[in-house]
Amino acid sequence: MNRIAVMTSGGDCPGMNAAIRSVVRTGIANGLEVFGIEQGYKGLMENRIKLLESKDVANMIQRGGTFLKSARSLEFKTDEGQQMAVGNLEANGIEGLVVIGGDGSLTGARILHEKFGIKVVGLPGSIDNDIYGTSISIGVDTALNTICRAVDMINETASSHDRTFLIEVMGRNCGYLALMSAIASGAEAVIIPEVKYNIESIINKIKVRYVEGKSRSVVIVAEGAGSAYDIGKAFQLIGGFDTRITVLGHLQRGGAPSVFDRTLATRLGSAAVKGLIEGRTGVMAGLGNREISFTPLSEVLTKKRDLDETMLKIAEELSL
């Protein structure tokens, strides 16, 4: 193997640049030419492929987002689009590919591997932390720190006005961000799609907290469990609370990556390159028991990563 390429696809997340940097420099250290594909599968179809040197990734480890940029592509889902992408890989002499992204991006990697025989290794890059085969994905730790800083600041104004705040966080249909940030920020309740919730029960619990002398309440709502605005209306109508809504939105996907995300992305990027050199393909590199391991993309994309029941119990006990 002489030439490999790296790309980011789907939603961006903190740590992607660190992963790209690791792929580039690990590849160069092992005698490979490393190419960067701009704008994901869209750029691959448009042949937006360029050689990356060590200097091109200097001062990238601390930057959020992805300097290779990202884009979603419906055309890549077609046979014609896939043929264009494969043709461009072959025209550039690229023998191995590292794809960084979420389940949609990894689905594309699986297609390239299974349908066209492209040697590919995926890396989990998504703040949702819903990807099977890794205990945590690139960007999750940074997103959690961002959420907790925001909740801490909101707590201060909530205490000043005896208000109830509902804070909506990202995660699609996974409640990981909501659950972990609720535990870490001391929220009174968390609403996630994996667990059925009762609005009246939550309201009654908060009323008890106010009677006990609590001057504010914070409820974390996962976007997949419903709109914080709709839930907030119920809080006002049923509970009579002075309620405010904050939707953190894309704030959670920005900012410089944490130390954990920088090191995780670096380890995964290095493992991906060495995996390709060793002949691994059709797999994703992930973190398990503090060690890097490889999981077939077929498993990654067909198995579900469940929330930790222990953390669910802890959240319930600490919110009493």
290 is known to lie in a ligand binding site: no
What per-residue string of b and e applies to 239-256 under the rule 16 or more CB within 10 Å gives b? bebebbbbbbeeebbebe
Q: Residue 64 and residue 70: Cα distance in Å, rounded?
A: 13
Residue 285: helix, strand or coil by DSSP?
strand
Active site residue 12: no
48 is known to lie in a ligand binding site: no
21 is known to lie in a ligand binding site: yes
286 is known to lie in a ligand binding site: no
73 is known to lie in a ligand binding site: yes
Q: Residue 53 and residue 72: Cα distance in Å, rounded?
A: 26
Q: Are strands 283-288 and 291-296 parallel, antiparallel or unpaired?
A: antiparallel
126 is known to lie in a ligand binding site: yes
Please check whether residue 280 is in contact with residue 5, taking contact to mean a CB–CB distance below 8 angstroms: no
The amino acid at 117: G
163 is known to lie in a ligand binding site: yes
36 is known to lie in a ligand binding site: no
224 is known to lie in a ligand binding site: no
236 is known to lie in a ligand binding site: no
110 is known to lie in a ligand binding site: no
24 is known to lie in a ligand binding site: yes
98 is known to lie in a ligand binding site: no
Please check whether residue 308 is in contact with residue 173, taking contact to mean a CB–CB distance below 8 angstroms: no
113 is known to lie in a ligand binding site: no
The amino acid at 311: M
The amino acid at 64: G
**Structure token pair of residue 174:** 């996974």
Q: Residue 134 and residue 191: Cα distance in Å, rounded?
A: 24
Q: Residue 3 and residue 95: Cα distance in Å, rounded?
A: 6
Alpha helices in 7-56 (DSSP H): 16-29, 40-45
HSE of 142, CA atoms in CB hemisphere, 13 A: 32
DSSP state of 138: B
Catalytic residue among 56, 79, 128, 152: 128
Please check whether residue 119 is in contact with residue 27, taking contact to mean a CB–CB distance below 8 angstroms: no
**Structure token pair of residue 56:** 């091109």
218 is known to lie in a ligand binding site: no
232 is known to lie in a ligand binding site: no
Feature table: binding site: 11, 21-25, 72-73, 102-105, 126-128, 163, 170-172, 186-188, 214-216, 223, 244, 250-253
Feature table: binding site for ATP: 11, 72-73, 102-105
Feature table: binding site for ADP: 21-25, 186-188, 214-216
Feature table: binding site for Mg(2+): 103
* Residues marked as catalytic: 128
